[in-house]
Amino acid sequence: MTDPTPQRPSPLNRRQFFAVGGSLAAAGVLAACGSDTGRTAASSPGAAASTGSTSTATGSSSAAVSASSVSGGPSSSAGGAKPTLQQWYHQYGEEGTKAAVEKYAAAYPDATVKVGWFPGDYDSKLASALLTADAPDVFEAGNGPSIDAIQGGLVEPLDDLLGDAKSDFNQALISRMSYQDKLYAIPQVIDMQLLVYRKSLLDAAGVKPPTTFDELAAAAKALTDGDQKGLFVGNDGGVGILTGPTLWSVGADYLTDDDKVGFTDPSVATAFGKLHELFASDSLLLGAPSDWFSADAINTGLTAMQFTGLWTFPDLIKELGDDFGVLPWPKFSADGAGAPSVPIGAFGSAVSAKGKNVDAAKAFVKYLWVDNAADQVDFAQSYGFHFPARESLADQATKLKEGTAAEAVKILQEYSHAQSPLLWTPASATALSDAVTKIIKNGADPASTLAGVVSKVKAELKRVVK
Amino acid sequence: MSAPTVVAPRPARRGTLKQRLLGPQNRNLWFWVFVGPFLVGLAIFVYVPILWSLYLSFFDARNTVTPTDFVGFDNYTFMLTDPAFLSSMGTFLVFAIFIVPVTFAFGLGLALAVNRTRWFQAFFRSAFFLPAACSYVVAALIWKMSIFNGFRSGVANGLLGVFDIDSVKWLSITTPPWYWLVLVTLRLWLQVGFYMILFLAGLQRIPPILYEAASIDGAKPGWQTFRYITFPQLRATSVAVLVLLLINAFQAFDEFYNILSNFGTYPPYARPPLVYLYYVALGSQQDLGRGSAGAIILAILIGLITVLQARFTREKRS
């Protein structure tokens, strides 16, 4: 373009240019569709087949699944007009998960299930999609559908699907996903956050596993040595994952049992003030290449203790062997009202009320997340590390019976809290996380900053408590 | 753009209604064949959403785009008294006050330098322009993960290490606010080249005769020539560049969102209006009424500033 040689023919004439440009643009549009909706990728059998080969090697439980898919084969070919269902998942980080859910979907005999798989901000995509006619028939939602989706009539109640199995599910999660005695999602697997530490590093520094916040802060300081920091709670200094544990550590909560603001006690301000001290102490790991939800920081020696997810267990075992232990987030002080805690959450499978095949969608959810125990165990255990949402299945989960995993199970049984209450709306969450950021990072006065959140939360409660 | 019937050579005496509608040589028909599809696209994807947003802004529209609960100006009152929204406006102001003049100066400086170069001009022009073709998202990830991560493995901290300076946690701390350095360098790298091209085009349209005349009149090359010939001649380009820069700063979203957002949350600092509105309207809050009100307030503000800027620069001329 810059070379002024008019006599030389340009390598592309105009028509060729448009042809190339057009196909490039088309490819771009197609690629955009693929990554945006995930539908094209899910419906291509090649993708499923190529990734499927990796997952068949993962464990014996998947053999049972493939057997069921074979048995489902003939009946599906005999059936005439099967409904088509869209099923949405957020992108799981663990290898093989996508192939697994596609396999479960393909094995379902009574409907053609197309899996949508969404990287990035899944919650926003889901919330927008639920408003439209193209809402997915079946979808997973973090801790179930939002209170606004429930009150807006966007999701179907699912109580009739559970039957006798209801008491078998984790009751904390069942109540988290229920509103006014109706259940709006079926918990798939339980995820838990917890404190992980390197036994050898604590021993070398002569530090005991901490049982109060002050002990934890002191341990973090003692374990800090040059580029190795004592504790990692996320690159944001704990704003994202420590709010709940900090509230529970002093016996407070987001909301009280009768739906009032739950963090007005002065001890809450004290506890958040301590998080700022920790942030400023130079014993926290900040700016790590991978954030708290990956085990990379503790595995590569950047930190001695890390608040992370249970799903990192396979990585931890692979890299550290048995050189790691687990703890709940400690209570704030030995004599206060608080208790140790771990947040638990679950993606729940829900059904859109606006779908064209609501009954078929409910039947599929019942098939996959209530009746089909083999797939549920496979999903909880073969890709990453999660607890089954049902107690009867936990007995089948052999990996949970020994060593550190068994300790984690004990922590779950004793100290777990549902991540946040149903009536804790995103607007309330934003207000509190803004305030906590200001306290932790800028050292803002905890009492007055938290007081500013109360009016916002009250306004939200006024809106949603009906 | 104007209707081509104006140039009809004589009144169409024999013209039926159909012929008159089609215009001479079917020009009206062709006008609509070419313009129509774009107009339809513009209407569907730009004007309808804007009007719909205006409509939504007067309703309590949570989780719905067909609301029924009319609330008048309540959403506007809420947004204009919402400290988080106002602080996002403050963020934008700080960002614009800095980024607009700096990008302007760098773009102009580069254009002047490239314009004077005798050798490899095409190479430099391409090299400086190339970043403009890079996606904000990709660049944001590179900036966040490989250049400005908090460790020695990051390029920035690696450089500091050469001078025995401690690693800086660029994106985790707020005092001093190093995150601005990350955001600003990224935007400069991405957009300076584009404005350089605009200035280059402007520079090459200045008639050489002006420089010759100035030289004969005794103007010294360098600052004097730039001050009295080049810069005034670039007025049209400069005004366009300023308007574009300001609108771009207003629309800042990609690099902020990708660099600072953290697992579904966004810190309350360095949060420009669009990022805040994204969380209100499109994120999990789905409060389309208030989000739309915020968007309309923003649009009015951009319009006002653009008009004022145009007036201001025009008055300077006379």
User: Nearest CA to A418 among A166, A181, A248, A235?
Assistant: A248
Q: Which residue among A146, A237, A302 places its CB closest to the CB of B284?
A: A146
For residue B176, say if its preceding peptide bond is cis, omega within 30 degrees of 0.
yes
Model pLDDT, residue A124 = 82
Of residues B139 and A395, more confidently modeled: B139
Neighbours of A13 (CB within 10 A): 10
Model pLDDT, residue B34 = 93
User: Nearest CA to A101 among A112, A77, A85, A117?
Assistant: A117
User: How close is the nearest chain B Cα to the Cα of A194, in Å?
Assistant: 17
Q: Tell me how far apart the alpha carbons of residues B243 and B238 are, in angstroms, rounded to a whole number.
A: 9
Q: Structure tokens of A123?
A: 């919650």
Model pLDDT, residue B316 = 53
Model pLDDT, residue B262 = 79
Best residue in B172, B174, B269, B277 to probe A by mutation, most A CBs within 10 Å?
Answer: B172
What are the two backbone dihedrals, phi and then psi, of residue A433, each rounded to the nearest 5 degrees? -70, -30
Residue B90 predicted with pLDDT over 80: yes
Model pLDDT, residue B13 = 55
User: Nearest CA to A308 among A296, A321, A320?
Assistant: A296
Q: What is the pLDDT of residues A28-79, one digit of tens each?
A: 433 333 333 333 333 333 333 333 333 333 333 333 333 333 333 334 444 4
Q: What is the pLDDT of residues B209-231, one digit of tens each?
A: 999 999 999 888 888 999 999 99
Q: Structure tokens of B171?
A: 């994106």
Model pLDDT, residue A270 = 96
Model pLDDT, residue A80 = 55
Best residue in B56, B60, B62, B63 to probe A by mutation, most A CBs within 10 Å?
Answer: B63
Taking 50 as the pLDDT cut, the residues of chain A under it are: 1-79
Q: Tell me how far apart the alpha carbons of residues A422 and A358 are, in angstroms, rounded to a whole number.
A: 24
Model pLDDT, residue B106 = 96
H-run or E-run covering A87: strand A84-90
Mean pLDDT rounded to a whole number for chain B: 88
3-state secondary structure of A397: coil
pLDDT > 70 in chain B, percent: 93
Q: What is the pLDDT of residues B104-130, one digit of tens each?
A: 999 999 999 999 888 888 899 999 999
- Give A429's contacts in chain B (Cβ within 8 Å): 265
Model pLDDT, residue A74 = 38
Model pLDDT, residue B315 = 53
Model pLDDT, residue A28 = 40
The answer to whether A423 touches A147, Cβ cutoff 8 Å, is yes
Q: Structure tokens of B26?
A: 């079917």
**What is the average pLDDT across B158-182?**
89
Residues B63, A154: C-beta atoms closer than 8 Å: yes
Whole-model pTM: value is: 0.80
